[in-house]
Amino acid sequence: MSTTASNGIDVAQLIDTIEAIKADPNVGEFTFRARSTWQSGTHSLGEIGAFTHAGEQDHTRVAPFRLEGDEPPVLLGQNNGPNAVELLLQALGFCYAVGYVANAAARGIEISRMDYEIEGDLDVRSFLGLEGARAGFTAIRAKGTVSSPNATPEQLRELCQYVQDTSPVRDNLANPVPVQTSLEIV
């Protein structure tokens, strides 16, 4: 395992983080948050700001990230932003990339390219109240493209499997997670 920075990942910080969590599992605990404010029709504004780490609020973000969510015209919107299920696919690509390059760095594998194309099949009948397939994606396909100047194909394929096994977003898609929903009427 190399301790020099690799792939833009500070491997020394990565190792320190792992050791800190081994010493106190609470250091591994996060609560993330997102907020959305409906505008009109299928258009909402999103905000992703502070999160909680080990019971304390993180203050490194000076302002929340702002996103727009909307539907295309065929789904009653005006293309002010991607739709919700497209964001789900984007999240999987981002998650896979972080896992791949960080674990590569920890193994001394240099990465020169790491792209993902994610696609998902969705039948909107359930969403529209008709009999049909499940409401969400029936299948998601992720295709990674990787280049490395110093790894074997076997190492790169093994890492792809490792990343699938430890990806938070893949876990939440491939396996059920409890979603508790409440409503306040004001």
**What amino acid occupies position 78?**
Q
Which is closer to a second copy, CB of 3 or CB of 72? 72
Q: Are 116 and 143 in contact (CB under 8 A)?
A: yes
Which is closer to a second copy, CB of 4 or CB of 176? 176
Residue 49 Cβ vs a second copy, minimum distance, rounded to whole Å = 9
Residue 52 Cβ vs a second copy, minimum distance, rounded to whole Å = 9
Residue 156 Cβ vs a second copy, minimum distance, rounded to whole Å = 5
CA 155 to the chain's CA centroid: 24
Which is closer to a second copy, CB of 9 or CB of 108? 9
Residue 108 Cβ vs a second copy, minimum distance, rounded to whole Å = 15
Which is closer to a second copy, CB of 67 or CB of 108? 67
- Reading phi first (left if > 0) and then psi (alpha if -120 to 50, else beta), residue 100 is in alpha
**Tokens representing residue 11 in the block:** 């491997």
- Return d(Cα 107, Cα 14) in angstroms, integer: 12
Q: Are 132 and 123 in contact (CB under 8 A)?
A: yes
